[in-house]
């Protein structure tokens, strides 16, 4: 794990009240950053921010007004923004493959797992540009790289954010803004729910929030624009190697900007 010095820098963590977000907030503070902890759980955000010596902000990240307000408050109270961890996420909770779809739960899932990432990145980019660049890490999942038949809707959202990180990373690279996706395997957090007992019954190795916090540090130190980093038990954290898409005759197609001549 490569050392990172964030002294004098400001970091923002969504979903920071529990699990991965809490561990990451503490790690960023340990690296020297002042940390803004954002969560819909006001008490949890206050607790983590107090322990990390940072700023607690309460809000629903799926609301399009929340992330612009969060970034504005961070700049106003902490003076700048350098590192953003878009970590808030929830599980699908339904199959999403038949006519029993609960549309309200589906919209909530997409709102937290996908919309919040778009809102957060769009709000953060102007602030990062004002500092000459910065880092954005999006918490995705291995379900963003491979299908998870037990939760197709969760798979959908995580594939979406991996694709978004890859494209946004390339688009923002010239601004000195490095966008990366973090794709952990199964992590021992509340998101596992009842499945935790099944994993324990077969002694399936689970990652811990601390493992992911360490992976965040690695990505901040070594990540390149648009990479998706795989995190698995045993300390394996590395960028995923995408094969690319062959064009006609097996040749890779040229870069094309849709909607432009």
The alpha carbon of 35 is separated from its chain's Cα centroid by a whole number of angstroms, namely 16
Give the strand pairing for 177-184 and 228-232: parallel
Of these residues, 106, 154, 164, 240, which one is catalytic?
A: 154
Distance, in Å, from the CA atom of 246 to the CA atom of 137, rounded to the nearest integer, reads 28
> Residue holding tokens 């820098």?
9
Distance, in Å, from the CA atom of 225 to the CA atom of 198, rounded to the nearest integer, reads 37
Alpha helix stretches (DSSP H) within 41-194: 42-52, 66-78, 103-110, 116-130, 152-172
Distance, in Å, from the CA atom of 227 to the CA atom of 166, rounded to the nearest integer, reads 6
Give the strand pairing for 55-58 and 177-184: unpaired
Tokens of 167: 């494209």
Q: Is-catalytic flag, 154?
A: yes
Active-site annotation, residues: 154
């Amino acid at each position: 794990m490569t050392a990172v010095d964030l002294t004098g820098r400001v970091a923002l963590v969504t979903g920071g009240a529990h699990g991965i977000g809490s561990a990451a907030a503490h790690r960023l503070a340990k690296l020297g950053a002042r940390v803004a902890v954002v969560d819909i759980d006001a008490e949890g955000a206050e607790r983590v921010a107090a322990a990390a010596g940072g700023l607690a902000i309460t809000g629903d990240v799926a609301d399009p007004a929340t992330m612009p307000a969060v970034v504005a408050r961070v700049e106003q109270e902490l003076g700048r923004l350098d590192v953003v961890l878009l970590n808030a996420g929830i599980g699908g909770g339904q199959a999403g493959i038949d006519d029993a779809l609960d549309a309200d739960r589906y919209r909530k899932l997409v709102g937290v797992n996908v919309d919040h990432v778009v809102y957060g990145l769009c709000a953060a980019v102007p602030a990062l540009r004002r500092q000459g660049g910065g880092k954005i890490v999006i918490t995705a999942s291995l379900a963003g790289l491979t299908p998870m038949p037990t939760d197709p809707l969760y798979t959908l959202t995580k594939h979406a954010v991996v694709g978004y990180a890859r494209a946004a990373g390339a688009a923002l690279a010239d601004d000195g803004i490095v966008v990366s996706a973090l794709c952990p395997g199964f992590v021992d957090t509340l998101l596992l729910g009842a499945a935790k007992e099944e994993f324990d019954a077969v002694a399936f190795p689970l990652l811990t929030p601390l493992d992911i916090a360490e992976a965040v540090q690695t990505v901040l130190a070594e990540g390149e624009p648009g990479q998706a980093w795989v995190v698995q038990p045993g300390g394996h954290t590395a960028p995923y190697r995408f094969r690319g898409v062959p064009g006609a005759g097996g040749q890779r197609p040229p870069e094309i900007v849709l909607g432009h001549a």
